[in-house]
Amino acid sequence: MRAWVVERPAPIESRPLQLRELPQPSPAADELLVKVRVCALCRTDLHVAEGDLPQKLPAIVPGHQVVGEVVSAGSGVRPPAPGARVGIAWLQRTDGTCRYCRSGRENLCEHAAFTGWSVNGGYAEYATVPARFAYPLPEGFSDESAAPLLCAGIIGYRALRLTGLNAAAAAGANPASAGNPDWSGVRLGLYGFGAAAHIAIQLARARGAEVYVCTRDRERHQALAAELGAAWVGDAAAAPPVPLDASIIFAPAGELVPPALEALAPGGALVLGGIHMSPIPSLPYPLLYRERVVRTVANNTRQDGMDFLAEAARVPVRTRVTRFNFGQLPEALIALKHDGFAGAGLLRVADAEPAD
């Protein structure tokens, strides 16, 4: 099979991914073998390719927002219907026995495996996944629209959950309605407006929140934020016109933490939504005083994924994708790094041709 491989991490402009012919993987007893149709692009793939994340596996195949069809199953798995469509996300496997797994926090599992980082991912014609970590996908989403939901969407959903705004709604300030939290009157900030933010804003707006977006790219990202209903859009470090109840930083830019904290109302939460971030400057204590909170998102649980996909179908979320053919992956990742498109990038794998 054809696959894109990172052997030696390096700046993406030097094209560290190489196209290789690899053996088609065989599913283990508890796994499915999936023929990949599409795989969405993620900044985490950049962090793997450029070495921001430590190398877990030599010659790794990145990619962890996979949509494909099941072609076979391991001996311990009840085979799904032929051609069944599934999604493969970042969290690929957990041990199920550590104290985090036993307490409903499998995203913190001590022995977790991650698609496209510690096990081969979806920038290839075939991938394997434990059957219990494969997501059934709502019928209302095409392959291309579903792929960005599997990381950008799930992580954005978990980041929204960690703002604590759901708890405030449940406490009675904003009573729940129609199966979703009611965030009427809530002011939410989003810093960076890539794939995750363009999904998160749709969830927040559907819940009734006002969304204030700070992002550096005016031509693409700011325009998309306005189109998706942002109450205000400004530059990355600009001060929103009102105090915010909570904010999420999706950009991997630690220098945004102080201005984001300064823009929070008392008791507000700042959630850092990335797996990698540049250094955070020292923080004057008044930025944290009055019960402001900073917390990070670490991976996701399967329950996050299932809850998010159900809400995404109800909203319904509409992803914006820029398509790239299989052979264009290096150019696609360069474009991702330099904000070359709005919304999500998408690699079309099913059109891959045999290697030379």
Q: Which domains does the chain have, with CATH numbers?
A: 2-150+301-348 (3.90.180.10), 155-296 (3.40.50.720)
pLDDT at 174 over 60: no
Question: What's the pLDDT at 8?
Answer: 95
Structure token digits, residue 249? 């930083």
Please state, as a whole number, how many other Cβ atoms lie within 10 Å of the Cβ of residue 224.
23
Question: What's the pLDDT at 218?
Answer: 75
Whole-number Cα distances in Å, 281 to 194, 224, 235, 259, 284: 23, 30, 19, 11, 10
Query: Can you list the alpha helix ranges (DSSP code H) found in the chain?
Result: 43-50, 99-102, 143-146, 152-162, 165-170, 195-206, 223-227, 257-262, 302-314, 329-337
pLDDT band at 181 (very low <50, low <70, confident <90, very high): confident
Is the distance from CB of 2 to CB of 352 less than 8 angstroms? yes
Residue-wise pLDDT tens digits, 311-334? 999 999 999 999 999 999 999 999
pLDDT at 355 over 90: no
Q: What is the mean pLDDT of residues 94-123?
A: 97
Is the distance from CB of 344 to CB of 23 less than 8 angstroms? no
Q: Which of 349, 301, 305, 304 is nearest to 137 (CA)?
A: 305
CA distance 16 to 107: 29
pLDDT at 77 over 70: yes
pLDDT band at 216 (very low <50, low <70, confident <90, very high): confident
Share of the chain above pLDDT 90, in %: 90
Q: Which residue has the tokens 């599913």?
A: 27
CA distance 163 to 80: 37
The mean of the pLDDT values for the chain is 94
pLDDT at 16 over 80: yes
Phi, psi of 47 (to 5 degrees): -65, -35
Is the distance from CB of 32 to CB of 86 less than 8 angstroms? yes
pLDDT at 170 over 80: no
Residue-wise pLDDT tens digits, 226-244? 999 999 999 998 999 999 9
Please state, as a whole number, how many other Cβ atoms lie within 10 Å of the Cβ of residue 281.
11
Question: What's the pLDDT at 175?
Answer: 43
Whole-number Cα distances in Å, 255 to 47, 280, 282: 18, 6, 10
pLDDT band at 166 (very low <50, low <70, confident <90, very high): confident
Q: What is the mean pLDDT of residues 60-72?
A: 97
Q: What is the mean pLDDT of residues 245-273?
A: 97
pLDDT at 180 over 80: no
Q: What is the mean pLDDT of residues 77-91?
A: 90
Q: What is the mean pLDDT of residues 279-302?
A: 96
3-state secondary structure of 287: helix
pLDDT band at 352 (very low <50, low <70, confident <90, very high): low
Q: How many CA atoms lie within 13 A of 150 on its CB side?
A: 36
